Amino acid sequence: MSSKPIVYWASPNEVAALVNTSKNMVTNNLVKTRFISDKILDHINSGDKVGVKVHVGEAYNTHYLRPDYVREVVNAIKAKGGIPTLIETQGLGNNIENIGICEDYSICVGHRKIAEDHKKIAELHGYSEAVIGAPLQFIDGVNGVDRKVVEIKGIHFKEVSVAKNLFKFDKLVVISHFKGHPQAGFGGALKQLGVGCVAKRNKHLVHFDGTFTVNLKKCDLSLCKQECISSCPVDAIKIEGEHAVIDASVCYGCFRCMQKCPIKRTLRAPKMRNLPDFVERFIDNAMAVLSFGSEKIRYLNFAFDIPAMCDCVPNAGVPVVPDLGIFGSSDPVAIDKACVDAETNAPGLPFLNKEGEWTQPLEKGVEKFKTLMPAVDPHNVFEAAMRNKLGSIDYELIKI
């Protein structure tokens, strides 16, 4: 028997038919979701509390994963006696952004930053108990700061703030929408672990090269009412002598202090990390999340409607490759590698450029995300994952 991790794969092909028969309905993608779920959910026992990690999608994003697929997974968990709960974490920052489109029309984006707004966009996208059959819980709390600090020996991090309530579950099922990503190259199971399951502090430390700092030459207590202190949600700022100071071990980069400070350039924001550092750090995060117990986690990647950008942005772009199908595994590295291999081996899709002309589709054998976004390299993810021993890039693909 092969020692390679198994990745189950269901082809995206569906038999078109007006008459519903078992022969054509077994090709339906929702039916195939159940088939793959039954293959991989061997870790669930009756009575298990099962966290189902999802990403509900940002406002105005039209390429997030349909809730229908998640409902099928939830039904499969219930059939095994499990008690499923959809789980999510808050996004970076704290404020909704209002964008004026024209004189009488504006839109609001950035809804995934606190629980109240996040829940509204989740329900709009169908991620509710009424639709899916399981309640939604934010495992990092109302503001995304509830954490359990996990010690690791990562590439960069020695400790990671994992979403606190993740550890209240007996088992996990991580559901990912496979697509491109402007920093990681692609988003799949590993990114759901390394960004989607951590508290805001480590989300910030993945994206930025530090926390906020005080410009002591600009900080003047006589010119303010210490708005930075009253605005900080985690009490990271205090007065020492004649200046404010920020505790870097607590700050999670919410930007509130900078927004409230009345003295310009008193607070310095950190810079965005370079792309290789971003990748290595979110893989470090994933390593900490796997302290939950690798044997207690299963993964489903849905490679449908695949744009170059992630579900956390409003404008993700148009699909760049055809639908690739559904993948299931107990290994997060193997399942992501299988998806990237499938994307590389598939033909690209044409799309309209800025001049309104159809582009020439990318050929088979070309890694599409790196070709479209030359600064990224999906293989950096696998190199970092192998360094942290998160799984295997050598897998056995079994078609169902």
The full set of domains in the chain, from first to last, is 6-207+274-399 (no CATH), 213-268 (3.30.70.20)
pLDDT at 259: 87
pLDDT > 70 in the chain, percent:
100
Mean pLDDT of 172-199: 98
Q: What is the mean pLDDT of the chain?
A: 95
pLDDT tens digits for range 318-330: 999 999 999 999 9
The phi-psi region of residue 159 (left if phi > 0; otherwise alpha if psi is between -120 and 50; otherwise beta) is beta
Report the residue count for the chain. Answer: 400
Q: Which amino acid is at 206?
A: V
Q: DSSP E strands: which ranges in 21-138? A: 49-53, 83-88, 97-102, 105-109, 136-138
pLDDT at 2: 66
56 has pLDDT over 70:
yes
pLDDT at 97: 85
Nearest to 315 by CA among 137, 101, 88, 29: 101
Phi, psi of 276 (to 5 degrees): -60, -40
Q: Is residue 283 within 8 Å of residue 155, measured between CB atoms?
A: yes
Nearest to 337 by CA among 3, 67, 5: 5
147 has pLDDT over 70:
yes
Please name the residue that has the structure tokens 């028969």.
21
pLDDT tens digits for range 66-113: 999 999 999 999 999 999 999 999 998 777 888 999 989 999 888 899
Mean pLDDT of 306-335: 96
Cα gap 349→359, rounded to integer Å: 9
Cα gap 271→274, rounded to integer Å: 9
Least confident of 53-57, 187-191, 241-245, 304-308: 241-245
Q: Which residues contact 4 (CB under 8 A, 6 or more apart)?
A: 334, 392, 394, 395, 396
pLDDT at 398: 98
pTM, whole model, 2 decimals?
Answer: 0.94
pLDDT at 138: 98
Mean pLDDT of 276-284: 97
210 has pLDDT over 90:
no
1 has pLDDT over 70:
no
122 has pLDDT over 80:
yes
275 has pLDDT over 60:
yes
Q: Which two tokens stand for residue 312?
A: 């956390």
For the chain, how far is it from start to end, CA to CA, in angstroms? 18
pLDDT tens digits for range 378-387: 999 999 999 9
Burial of 48 (0-12, 13-18, 19+ CB in 10 A): middle
pLDDT at 96: 81
What H or E segment, with its residue span, contains residue 299? strand 297-303
